[in-house]
Structure 1
Amino acid sequence: MATQNRDRFSTATRLRLLGEQTAARVYRSQSRRQARRSRLTGRAAFLALVVCSMVVALAYPMRQYVSQRGEIAEQERLAEDAAARVERLRDEKARLQDDAYVRRLAREHLHYVLPGETAFTMNDPETARERRRDQGGAEQPWYSNVWDGVDRADQENR
C-alpha cells in the first residue's frame, strides 16, 4: 500500500493525471465550441434564407411601385401641359371675341381693306429670292402657296 500511496503522490503520476484532466477539459471545451458554432451556422443559414426570400418576394412589387411612380409623375406633367394649353386657348378665344382684334388679323393675314382704302402689294426682291431658294428654285402659282401655307399651319398645331 505504501507503494500505491507513494505511486499515487509521485510527481510523475500527478503530472500524468493533471495532463489527462486538462486534455479532458480541452476536449469538452472544443466540443462545446463546435456545437455552438454549428448551431450559429445553422441559425445564420436560416436567417440568410429568410432574408433572401424576403428580397425575392419584395423585388417585383418594389420594381412595379417605382415604375408606377414614374408613370404618375409623367402623367402629372402631361396634365400640367394640357392645363397650360387650355389656358392659352381660352385666352385666344377671349381675344377672338374682340372685333378689333379680328379685323386686325384679317387685315394682316388676309390683306383685307376697308371701303375707300387702296391696297398696295409690294414685292421685295430679297424675299422673292429666299422664297425661290426655299421652294427649290421653281416659281409656284399662288394657289400652291396657299395650300402650302395651310399644310404648314396644320403641322404647327400638331
Structure 2
Amino acid sequence: MAAAEDRDGAARRGPDASPGGGRRNALTSRAAILAVVMCAIALSLAYPVREYIAQRQEIADLRHKEAVARRQVDELARRKQQLADKAYIEREARQRLHYCRPEEKCYIVLDGGAGNGQQTQQGGPASRPPWYETLWRSVETADRTR
C-alpha cells in the first residue's frame, strides 16, 4: 500500500518534482536568486549612501567654519569701532607707549620690577653675571695658571 501512496504522491507533485523533496530545491534556488538580487541592490546603493554621508559631513564642517568666520568678522568690526574712539586711543597710548599730553607731567618709575603692578622676587635664585664678565674671569684664571 505504501508503494501505491508513493506513486500517487509523485503524481500529485508533478513530473519535475523528485519524490524526496523537490520543493526544497525550488525554494533554495529562489532564495539564492533573492539573495543575489538583494546583494546587487545593496552594492548599488552603498556608494551613493557613502557619498551622501560624506557630503553631509562636509556641509556640517563648512557651517562650522562659517560660524567661526562670522564671529571673527564681528570681533574685527567691534575692534574697528573701538579704534575709532579717540579716548580709547589716548588711553592705549598712555599705557603702552607712556605717552603724555603736553599739559601733563608724567613720571616713569624704574624699580627693576616686572612692571604691571608685579613685585620683584626677594631672595630668589642668584642671577648669573653677564656673559662678558664670565669671559673676563676665565681670561684672568687662564693668566694665573701660566
For 1:75, the equivalent position in structure 2 comes to 62
Which blocks of at least 5 consecutive residues in structure 2 are unaligned? Answer: 122-127, 131-146
Report which structure shows greater RCO (CA 8 Å, sep ≥6): 2
Distance of 1:107 and 1:95 partners within structure 2:
16
For 2:71, the equivalent position in structure 1 comes to 84
User: RMSD across aligned C-alpha pairs, in angstroms?
Assistant: 2.8
Count residues in correspondence.
116
Which blocks of at least 5 consecutive residues in structure 1 are unaligned? Answer: 1-17, 131-136, 140-158
The alpha-carbon deviation at position 23 of structure 1 amounts to 3.3
Following TM superposition, the consecutive aligned residue runs of length 4 or more in structure 1 with deviations greater than 6 angstroms are: none
The alpha-carbon deviation at position 25 of structure 1 amounts to 3.9
1:114 to 91, 101, 107: 101
For 1:103, the equivalent position in structure 2 comes to 90
Deviations 1:35-91 (A, max 9, x none): 322221111111111111111111122111111111110110000010011011111
So what's the TM-score if we normalise by structure 2?
0.66
More helix by share: 1
**Percent identity at matched positions?**
34
Distance of 2:20 and 2:129 partners within structure 1:
98
Give 1:85's aligned amino acid: Q
So what's the TM-score if we normalise by structure 1?
0.62
1:55 to 19, 29, 42: 42
